[in-house]
Chains A and B, each alone.
Chain A
């Protein structure tokens, strides 16, 4: 038994006063009688019964003493442990990942049910238990640390919301370990639909899952040939039963097609939508049948429109470059003759070994082996026989383990808006970037003077480089999963950047503070940038992580207990019981004081 309010024990100081009062009370009142003539004989006969009277008096004393002790105990608010031992503090871990949104228990989601369990646990704890609350979604976050305020913890639990993020609760061991090291004794309770390996920690999982059905779309893509578009979506049945459903394909807000598909339990199937036309920004598919988890019933993608791009190449002769460009899909390469007479209307202008005197502000330009400074960038040096490496850039990320050698190259002064893609000894050999709303790229070496073209990565490099150069709003990635940090590719000249979320909420980004957002909502996002009085828009999509679509029960869902068996100390206040005992003893005391005379045979 513990006492929640030890301040009540100060009342023990009143006990000596009580005893003193009792002793003083013994001083009897004096009464004058006319004569003790009759009383003496009575008293003499009564002497024989005095021990019984003393006992009776003492009984009342002890009863009252017991009453005082019980009163003090009730003031101190005693608690009894119903089960469990020791003074364990509690670490409460609540899974907020996407799969917890599954509604598989009488209309309640796993998360809501889990919160109910968590609240029940907290309510039953004693006031002396310190509670640490952690939410675990894409990352683990300590919501409350070692609080003894049950109200605060319950309010925080109530305020928690599930996310669409891919969970990482299985990797919470290190956090739990470090927290438990701070505590003398502890219990860990995790509320999750995932199993957790607590290893040497004393933990328990409460799994609020119930077996349920779930069909999920986890992928959608498209291709285009001429005007005909083809789309493919992938559906997986994570449920316990075979299912049949309709899958609808949309282009932006327009319904394109509907197909009916049967998917067996555990089966993955592809759905094809062939030969449709349209000019869309986004393509998405939706499962019509309702199941336990709605969030994975849609898959989104950014429409890849592939009308052929036109490239104007100014070069003397560069077999490597021409071959690489000719291999690019949907790219038409034209050779220019006079760099001082640059025709308009091309998506990309490549100057190989040549530097035009005047470069228009509105064209994308790739310089290869520039021989002199340009109005856009300057050469900073010339080197020979050096190894160079690709930088960590989307254009060159597939080449990160490679290195190349150039017999001769120029280093470039990378402009402030430029991003380096090749370096050697901290010198920039190649960079890309956006300047005045157009793409600029530069490689400071002649392809003939390097072994780069001989590498298998070369065609991919050229493909990425050219794709980057020709897309004015290039974003390395257009499709993300919920919870990912999304770095937006923004024009250097952008004055305002807004992001519209799938729920039509608008986020104003501060250009100076970094241009990234957390993709929490599933759906299509629209980025609008204000560049030179013009709004440039593009889309990206966020999909539900496929790992969270698998809502099959892990661990012992039936009893809600997995891993190490531990007892949570459920302490209950016995204050009310003590008060009841006090009342009963009061009644008994009254009985002894008044009715005792009758019991002992006199009136």
Chain B
């Protein structure tokens, strides 16, 4: 199965994507090419002009005296963006021959590759039940294969409590958090978003849904069984019920989108049945992610 996800065709596409795109990050906002940003590590790197909101303790007074302008010191640590990819590995992601899961893994690989190419550090975090399984911190293209191997070992089972799992992750610095999920979480998604905001993360929310979740083709009297919990409900599906579902779905999507936007992040809804090319070059470029 993992061979199918990352096959020769995928890597060819990956090259193409990496060639023509890069993650754009501008001072914490995703967008544009990430310049060598300066951090507050021991190693002095560079100056930049003070802007409102910067830590005033980092103002270089000497530069001020010299140039009569406020500058702050930048340090090496901030030069590398830290990309955390939070992958929902619940069973719902494995629905319909793991279509969503496959898309999630591929997207993880794509973003990882781009980040690594840009000398950013990447960490893959698999969330299942209340656990979070984090990969080592990958850096440099040379570690891409190890990253792929890590992704290949992914199983989609159980449920996902995003907020709970996130809080178990030690996020110490600013960075980019890419959440790849279908949104069918056991706990409150808002809490997860809030936490990431608190941790000064730039959020990229990739909302992966299956075609049958977006446009269900069910009809008649049915017993619906939850793939994660095996819970069953009997429902008489007719036009009216489908209409109500669509309304609920739109509301669901809208809520997440609004939340992410308010957090300063980016929301992209992805149909797992779409091709990777379409997702990257249409959905993402439209949003200005790549």
Contact = CB atoms under 8 A, between A and B. Distances in A.
Contact of A597 (B100, B240, B244): B240
Interface stretch (A32-40, A311-319, A455-463, A513-521): A32-40
A43 to B, nearest CB: 5
B48 interface: no
Nearest to B159: A35
Contacts of A50: 236
A602 interface: yes
Contacts of B235: 39, 42-43, 46
Contact of B224 (A26, A36, A600, A603): A36
A601 interface: yes
Nearest to A35: B184
A182 interface: no
Interface in B194-216: 210, 212-213, 216
Interface string B229-264: 101111110111101110011001000000000000
A28 B223 contact: yes
B184 A37 contact: yes
Interface in A1-56: 26, 28-43, 45-46, 49-50, 53
Contacts of A43: 233, 235
Nearest to B228: A35
Contacts of A33: 95, 212-213, 216, 224-227
Contacts of B221: 26, 28-29
Interface in B134-185: 182-184
B225 A30 contact: yes
Contacts of B182: 34-35
Nearest to A603: B239
B222 A29 contact: yes
A34 B184 contact: yes
Interface string A567-603: 0000000000000000000000000000001001111
A36 B238 CA distance: 17
Contacts of B232: 30
A35 B227 contact: yes
B53 interface: no
Contacts of A34: 92-93, 95-96, 100, 182, 184, 210, 212-213, 227-228
Given A30-B222, A30-B223, A597 B252 contact: no
Contact of B240 (A38, A40, A601): A601
Contacts of A28: 220-223, 234
A39 B220 contact: no
Given A46-B241, A53-B236, A597-B239, A38 B249 contact: yes
A39 B233 contact: yes
Contacts of B222: 28-31
A238 to B, nearest CB: 85
Interface in B104-155: none
Interface residues of A, number: 27
A49 B238 CA distance: 12
A11 to B, nearest CB: 28
Contacts of A600: 240
B218 interface: yes
Contacts of A45: 244
A510 B100 CA distance: 111
A31 B218 contact: yes
Nearest to A33: B224
B185 to A, nearest CB: 8
Contacts of B225: 30-33
B238 A597 contact: yes
B239 A602 contact: yes
B250 to A, nearest CB: 10
Nearest to B240: A602
A602 B241 CA distance: 8
Interface string A96-129: 0000000000000000000000000000000000
A31 B95 CA distance: 12
Interface string B58-93: 000000000000000000000000000000000011
A45 B236 CA distance: 12
A39 B224 contact: yes
A390 to B, nearest CB: 106
- Which of A34, A36, A39, A41 has the most chain B CB atoms inside 10 A of its CB? A34
Contact of A41 (B96, B100, B236, B248): B248
A26 B93 CA distance: 31
A46 B244 contact: yes
Contacts of B223: 28-31
Contacts of A38: 184, 213, 245, 248-249, 252
A50 B234 CA distance: 11
B285 to A, nearest CB: 28
A53 B241 CA distance: 11
Contacts of A30: 222-225, 232
A36 B218 CA distance: 14
A40 B184 CA distance: 12
A19 B118 CA distance: 70
Nearest to A601: B240
A45 B225 CA distance: 18
B5 to A, nearest CB: 19
A36 B186 CA distance: 11
A603 B243 CA distance: 8
Contacts of A602: 238-240, 243
A30 B210 CA distance: 19
Nearest to A40: B233
Nearest to A598: B239
A43 B220 CA distance: 14
Contacts of B231: 36
B159 to A, nearest CB: 9
A150 to B, nearest CB: 51
A40 B235 CA distance: 10
A28 B210 CA distance: 24
Contacts of A36: 224, 226, 229, 231, 233
14 contacts: A29-B221, A31-B222, A32-B225, A32-B227, A34-B93, A34-B182, A34-B184, A34-B228, A37-B184, A38-B245, A46-B240, A53-B238, A597-B238, A603-B240
Interface of B: 92-93, 95-96, 100, 182-184, 210, 212-213, 216, 218, 220-229, 231-236, 238-241, 243-245, 248-249, 252
Interface of A: 26, 28-43, 45-46, 49-50, 53, 597, 600-603
Q: Which 7 A-B pairs have the closest CB atoms?
A: A602-B240, A34-B95, A35-B184, A34-B92, A37-B184, A36-B226, A603-B239
Given A28-B223, A31-B223, 10 more contacts: A31-B225, A33-B216, A34-B96, A34-B100, A34-B227, A36-B231, A42-B245, A597-B238, A597-B240, A602-B239
